[in-house]
């Protein structure tokens, strides 16, 4: 029986998730040079199967360039509802095994398995069981790595892909890392890597050699100590489990009861803008929403709907919410309170498919942070006008 580890972290990463999902949807694509992405001229590759990686095709590469490298490439459009469904199934598996899971992307997770060692004393058997359950539940293969820290587990998984199982025993971290290229270390960007490689320093092990120390200090400065700790396998970064907040909401009570959509819509829309902004900052997306109304007799009615895929960009969310509000409004009722909740929060999948939209949204979020949400409107609703209208309608008591 394997010895008990003082700390044990399990990292899981689905192999070429989007490309593998395309094969699940259409099994005739199995083994073929599939890539998921947008069409040329402006599209980019979101995920490349292992068959096209052999040609040098990588994710985030312009599709036009990928087609030059691999003319027989089969381009498949992204299928976000499918990815969301697969992510939920993956969560079912992790919930079966682990009390807490940290998702770092739609297909990557960490779990602290230190306390699971009583039930699963052999990390190889635990890793194999998780892999088998993921394959059985989703049809996807994954690579699992167990190590004493997150960084080593992640690096090991990258080194053992695809369909791999890596167990880096405590005490063997530095020896495992030593022969790997320095660019395998998180935080070691292409620029630093290039500069350091020019000094003749190529491997993670080289970072610990005293003869390179002066040159490394010149290039990495105070960051060197952190890289050296990682190179020794020292990494106590904790697994931060999924956040408690499964929903966010906002509501307000009116001075004057109303049933006028021209008053209610802009208020709900304003809530949506604020809540969606918060989700984007937290890297979350909402799978569902609830519109809530309280009438003059304090009766509460709600309408809950799910989005076809988790969203955090308010212009995409608004049409559904607006329809739900319209369905909920009763012509004879007047309302004293309106609220909006966003729920089924999940880690937001990186919107790889439309970088320009992502950059624009990020720029707006920075503006909102600096100046408050009133100066920037992602949607086109004239909220200010409607507020004035509300004020005009106010009757004296």
When the beta carbons of 141 and 309 are compared against Mg ion, the nearer one is: 141
Closest residue by Cα to residue 74 from 47, 114, 106, 107: 47
Q: Does the protein bind Mg ion through residue 13 (CB under 5 A)?
A: yes
Q: Do residues 338 and 69 touch, judged by C-beta distance below 8 A? A: no
Only one of the segments 104-112, 172-180, 225-233, 330-338 lies at the binding site for Mg ion (rule: CB under 5 A); that segment is: 104-112
Only one of the segments 24-32, 43-51, 103-111, 305-313 lies at the binding site for Mg ion (rule: CB under 5 A); that segment is: 103-111
When the beta carbons of 13 and 112 are compared against Mg ion, the nearer one is: 13
Q: Does the protein bind Mg ion through residue 206 (CB under 5 A)?
A: no
Closest residue by Cα to residue 47 from 349, 394, 397, 314: 349
**134 CB-near residues (< 8 Å, 6+ apart):** 12, 14, 90, 93, 140, 141, 142
**31 CB-near residues (< 8 Å, 6+ apart):** 51
- Report, in Å, the least distance between residue 109 CB and Mg ion: 10
Instruction: List strands edge to edge, sheet with 165-167.
Output: 102-105, 108-112, 9-14, 142-147, 165-167
Bridge partners of 176, per DSSP, are: none
- Report, in Å, the least distance between residue 15 CB and Mg ion: 6
Segment 329 to 358, residues that bind Mg ion, using CB under 5 A: none
Q: How do strand 34-37 and strand 74-76 relate by DSSP bridges?
A: parallel
The Cα–Cα gap between 225 and 220 comes to: 9
Which of 5, 8, 12, 14 is in the footprint of Mg ion by CB under 5 A?
A: 14
Q: Does the protein bind Mg ion through residue 156 (CB under 5 A)?
A: no
- Report, in Å, the least distance between residue 17 CB and Mg ion: 5
The Cα–Cα gap between 184 and 200 comes to: 16
Report CA-CA distances (Å) from 56 to 64, 93, 152, 376. 13, 33, 26, 42
Q: Does the protein bind Mg ion through residue 107 (CB under 5 A)?
A: yes
When the beta carbons of 78 and 233 are compared against Mg ion, the nearer one is: 78
Q: Tell whether omega for the bond before 41 is within 30 degrees of 0, i.e. cis.
A: yes
Q: How many other C-beta atoms can be found within 10 angstroms of the C-beta atom of residue 67? A: 17
When the beta carbons of 272 and 346 are compared against Mg ion, the nearer one is: 346
When the beta carbons of 19 and 324 are compared against Mg ion, the nearer one is: 19
When the beta carbons of 50 and 55 are compared against Mg ion, the nearer one is: 50
- Report, in Å, the least distance between residue 162 CB and Mg ion: 9
When the beta carbons of 83 and 335 are compared against Mg ion, the nearer one is: 83
Q: Where does the chain show beta strands of DSSP type E? A: 9-14, 34-37, 45-48, 74-76, 102-105, 108-112, 142-147, 165-167, 247-258, 284-295, 300-311, 335-347
Catalytic residue among 92, 100, 102, 108: 108
108 in active site? yes
- Report, in Å, the least distance between residue 85 CB and Mg ion: 16
Q: What's the alpha-carbon Rg for the chain, to the nearest Å? A: 25
Only one of the segments 9-17, 128-136, 151-159, 192-200 lies at the binding site for Mg ion (rule: CB under 5 A); that segment is: 9-17
- Report, in Å, the least distance between residue 104 CB and Mg ion: 10
> How many chain residues bind Mg ion (CB under 5 A)?
4
Q: Do residues 110 and 14 touch, judged by C-beta distance below 8 A? A: no
**17-46 mask for Mg ion (x: CB under 5 A)?**
x-----------------------------
- Report, in Å, the least distance between residue 346 CB and Mg ion: 16
- Which position has the token pair 């495992």? 176
Only one of the segments 92-100, 102-110, 222-230, 318-326 lies at the binding site for Mg ion (rule: CB under 5 A); that segment is: 102-110
Q: Do residues 124 and 167 touch, judged by C-beta distance below 8 A? A: yes
Query: Which residues belong to the active site?
Result: 108
In the complex, the residues that contact Mg ion under the rule CB under 5 A are: 13-14, 17, 107
């Amino acid at each position: 029986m394997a010895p008990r580890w003082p700390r044990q972290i399990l990292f899981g990463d689905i192999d070429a998730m989007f490309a593998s999902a395309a094969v699940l949807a259409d099994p005739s694509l199995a083994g073929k040079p599939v890539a998921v992405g947008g069409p040329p001229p402006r599209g980019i590759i979101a995920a490349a199967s292992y068959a096209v990686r052999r040609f040098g095709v990588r994710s985030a590469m312009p599709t036009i360039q990928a087609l030059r490298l691999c003319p027989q490439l089969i381009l498949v459009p992204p299928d976000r509802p499918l990815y969301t469904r697969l992510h939920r199934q993956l969560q079912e598996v992790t919930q079966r095994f682990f009390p807490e899971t940290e998702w770092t992307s739609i297909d990557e997770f960490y779990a602290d398995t230190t306390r699971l060692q009583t039930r699963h004393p052999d990390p190889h058997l635990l890793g194999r069981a998780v892999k088998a359950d993921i394959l059985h539940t989703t049809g996807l293969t994954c690579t699992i790595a167990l190590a004493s820290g997150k960084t080593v587990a992640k690096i090991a998984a990258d080194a053992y892909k695809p369909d791999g199982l890596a167990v880096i025993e405590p005490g063997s971290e530095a020896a495992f890392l030593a022969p790997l290229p320095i660019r395998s270390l998180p935080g070691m960007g292409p620029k630093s890597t290039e500069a350091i490689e020019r000094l003749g320093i190529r491997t993670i092990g080289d970072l610990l050699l005293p003869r390179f120390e002066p040159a490394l200090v010149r290039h990495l400065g105070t960051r060197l100590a952190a890289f050296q700790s990682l190179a020794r396998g020292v990494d106590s970064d904790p697994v931060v489990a999924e956040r408690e907040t499964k929903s966010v909401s906002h509501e307000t009570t009116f001075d004057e009861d109303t049933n006028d959509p021209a008053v209610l819509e802009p208020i709900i829309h304003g809530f949506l803008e604020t809540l969606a902004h918060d989700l984007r900052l937290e890297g979350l997306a909402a799978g569902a929403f609830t519109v809530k109304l309280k009438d003059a007799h304090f009766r509460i009615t709600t309408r809950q709907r799910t989005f076809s895929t988790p969203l955090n960009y308010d212009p995409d969310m608004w049409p559904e919410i607006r329809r739900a509000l319209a369905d909920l409004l009763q012509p004879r009722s007047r309302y004293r309170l309106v609220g909006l909740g966003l729920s089924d929060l999940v880690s937001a999948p990186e919107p790889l498919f439309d970088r320009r939209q992502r950059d624009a949204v990020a720029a707006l979020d920075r503006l909102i942070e600096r100046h408050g949400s009133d100066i920037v409107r992602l949607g086109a609703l004239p909220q200010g006008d409607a507020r004035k209208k509300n004020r005009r309608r106010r009757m004296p008591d």
